[in-house]
Amino acid sequence: KKGQKLFTSMEVSTKFADTGKAYLVGLGATDDPASLGTEMLAFSASAAHNPLANRKQNPENLFSEAVETLIELEEAQDEKPSLFARVTALFTKKEQTDDARFSDVHKAVELVATEQQILSERTDKSLSDQDQRLSELESSLQEQQTAFAELQQQLSREDSRKDYRQRAPGGDAPAGTLTNC
């Protein structure tokens, strides 16, 4: 918004570490296009001697062309200051009497103790919730294991023959259930 960091530039080594491959050795965002020769490259492309050659790490490295870039930054959200920041703020006041300094130390200790108490309560509640959930899961597992054992026992007592035939009810059975021999 204020015209800052509008130009990008980079420095490329064409034979990096004797591998024969190109490698990006420098990258920057600058306020003015003269940074790392980005603007000068456009004017000195046909010059016999590049005036920015002494800025390169290696004479064979290349500079990028100046390209204007639009960067929009998000506004930072207001966050609650950290415990350290709040304690530090208590000690940064100037020209205080000894009583005021001792009062600030006392406030800082109270602040740390309060934050620690809140953290301890949250931790205790979380652990309690986890213990309860673990107990419920163990109980559920025990019920499932018992039901599985009962089913296994029931199935082991059943006849596993596939050719099993029900017994005939006897001589007084209806004609549809009698065997035709």
pLDDT (tens digit per residue) in 38-82: 543 334 455 556 666 677 777 777 766 667 778 787 777 667 777
Q: How many residues comprise the chain?
A: 181
In-domain check, residue 163: no
Cα end-to-end span (Å), the chain: 103
Q: Are residues 12 and 61 in the same domain?
A: yes
pLDDT confidence of residue 38 = 55
Q: Are 56 and 36 in contact (CB under 8 A)?
A: no
Window from 9-13, 35-39, 131-135 with minimum mean pLDDT: 35-39
Q: Is residue 113 part of a domain?
A: yes
Q: Which of 40, 38, 36, 33 minimizes the C-alpha distance to 55?
A: 36
Phi and psi angles of residue 23, each rounded to the nearest 5 degrees, phi first: -150, 140
Residues 58 and 96 in one domain: no
Residues 98 and 61 placed together within one structural domain of the fold: no
Number of domains in the chain: 2
Instruction: Kindly compute the dihedral angle of the four CA atoms of residues 20, 21, 26, 32, in this order, to the nearest 10 degrees.
Output: 100
**57 with 13: CB under 8 angstroms?**
yes
**Can you give the residue range of the structural domain that contains 43?**
7-68
Q: Is residue 17 situated within a structural domain?
A: yes
Pairwise pLDDT comparison (29 vs 118), residue with the higher score: 118
99 assigned to some structural domain:
yes
**Domain annotation covers residue 110:** yes
Instruction: Please give the C-alpha separations between residue 80 and each of 18, 38, 83, 107, 122, in angstroms, as whole numbers.
Output: 51, 41, 9, 18, 18
Is 22 a domain residue? yes
Supply the pLDDT for residue 139: 96
pLDDT tens, 109-166?
888 888 888 999 999 999 999 999 999 999 999 999 999 999 999 988 887 776 666 6
Give residue 72's pLDDT.
Answer: 80
**Mean pLDDT score, 81-97:** 67
Residue predicted with more confidence, 7 or 107: 107
Q: Are residues 87 and 63 in the same domain?
A: no
The pLDDT, as a whole number, for residue 36 is 46
Tell me the C-alpha distance between 78 and 160, whole Å. 72
Distance, CA of 173 to CA of 76 (rounded, Å): 90
The answer to whether residue 29 is domain-embedded is yes
Token pair belonging to 88:
């530090």
Cα-atom radius of gyration of the chain, to the nearest Å? 41
Same domain, 60 and 17: yes
Domain contains 164: no
Two tokens, residue 11: 């420095």
On the question of pLDDT at 37 being above 60, the answer is no
Q: Report DSSP state, residue 14.
A: E
